[in-house]
Every structure is written in structure tokens, then in C-alpha cells.
Structure 1
Amino acid sequence: MSKRHRKLLLEDILESGNKIYNYVYGYDFDTFVIDERTRDAVVRNFEIIGEASNRIDVDFKNQHSDIPWARLRGLRNRIIHEYFGIDFELVWHIIQNDLNPLLKKVETLYENIETQS
């Protein structure tokens, strides 16, 4: 399997984060929690965010330690391994409070990264 360039992985994070916002646009928690399709789409995109962050090389992560790489991977692992036990209140909290600051940091990295590693 070929390694994807870190810029593409950052792009995956940005695209998935933006999809999450599009999926829940206009929703409150009660609407989100009863909409199975939206929940599934959001969970899938958090999985992608976690997987992309996991595949970014360690040196790059160490240089950009202000991004919670381990937490992103941890969320992905919780979602994949405990699907029936997902805490949707936690997922909603992350969407409302943590996702936007994360995407801003990742976008800054994405815009400034060289295409060659």
C-alpha cells in the first residue's frame, strides 16, 4: 500500500469535518440523535478524520503538537470498536465545541505545507 502525502491526509480531515457540519446544519441535538442517517454519516466522517490523523507521520505530529492527534485517533477507535455504545452527546459536544477550532488549525497547516515531504 502506498503512503498518502500528509497534505492529502490533512485534506481528508478538512473535507470530513466540513461534511459533518453540512450534515448537521440547522440541527439541534434532539434532531441529530433521532436521525439515523445523519448519525451514521457523522460517525463515518469522524472515523475518516481519526484514520487520516493516525496515518500522518510522527515527526509532523510532533512539530504540530497543538493538534490533538492522539485524541482524534482515540475517538476513531472508540467509534469503530464500540459502535453500539457510541455516546452521541459526546459526539454532539465535539461537533459544537471542538471541531471548528480543530479545522481552523488543520486548514492553516494545509495552506502552509509543502507538497513535497
Structure 2
Amino acid sequence: MQRLADYLAHILEAIERIDRYTEDMSEVAFLESEMAQDAVIRNFEIIGEASHNIETHYPEFAAAHPELPLAAAYQMRNAVAHGYFKVDLEIVWKTIHRNLPGLYRQVQAVARELPADD
């Protein structure tokens, strides 16, 4: 279970980083900043990879928590990781503001349910 806790922590940390990178930024500023885009995309990759690892290595946990959009996070990871110069940055921006706050709360809640000694 320690790896599960690590994967959940990776998701939380990546969301926190995305939040820090974009907190004082408008959508226009984000769309003009290659550095912010690259940093955010990298952290979406981390979220997706950790989500995929949870689904792969802890399928019982994933099944017990259908509220976690693990498959969707992995699909987003694939879209940004393999999109190269075709990533829709407006969708990335909307995802940051529409989906990540809820995902953060969901992951925090399930992480608190894990046994402390694992």
C-alpha cells in the first residue's frame, strides 16, 4: 500500500505545482508562456502516469473509488504527452480551473482513508 500512497501523493503534488505555476496568470498569459505551458504539461503527465499506475497495480482500490477519474487523467496524459505541438492549450487551461480543484479534493479524501502505517 505504500506505493499507492506515493501515487496519490504524486497526484496531489503535481496539482499543487500546476496551481503555483498558474495562480497569478491569466489565460492569455498562459497561452503566451512556453515555460508555464511546459511546466503544466509535465505535471499533467505525472498526474496521468500516477493514475495509470493506480489502475494497473491497485485495481481493487480503483474499483472501490469510481469517483476518481483515473482513466480520464491517463487519457489527458496521453493527449499532452503525444500531442507535441498540437496540444490544445485552451483545453489545458480549462482543465486546470474546472477539473483540478475537484480532483485535488477527491484524492485528498481517499488518501486520508489509507491506513497510516502502510
Fold match, TM over 0.5?
Answer: yes
Residue 39 (structure 2) pairs with residue 37 (structure 1): no
Matches of 1:102 and 1:62 in 2, distance apart? 16
Matches of 2:81 and 2:32 in 1, distance apart? 20
* Structure 1 partner of 2:19: 21
Q: Secondary structure at the match of 2:99?
A: helix
Structure 1: gaps (5+ residues): none
Q: What are the superposed Cα offsets for residues 12-70 of structure 1, whole Å, 9 maximum, x if unpaired? A: 00000000000001111100011111100000000000000000121111100011111
* Structure 2 partner of 1:102: 103
The percent identity for this pair of structures is 34
Which structure 2 residues correspond to residues 6-85 of structure 1 after superposition, within 5 A? 6-56=4-54, 57-85=58-86
Matches of 1:55 and 1:4 in 2, distance apart? 13
Q: Secondary structure at the match of 2:21?
A: helix
Q: What are the superposed Cα offsets for residues 55-109 of structure 1, whole Å, 9 maximum, x if unpaired? A: 0121111100011111000000111111211000000000111100000000111
AA in 2 matched with 1:39: Q
Q: CA RMSD in A?
A: 1.3
Q: What's the offset of the Cα at 1:4? A: 6.3
Structure 2: gaps (5+ residues): none
Off by >6 Å, runs of 4+ in structure 1 = none
**TM-score, with normalisation over the residues of structure 1?**
0.93
Distance change in 2, residues 1:4/1:33 (3 Å) = farther
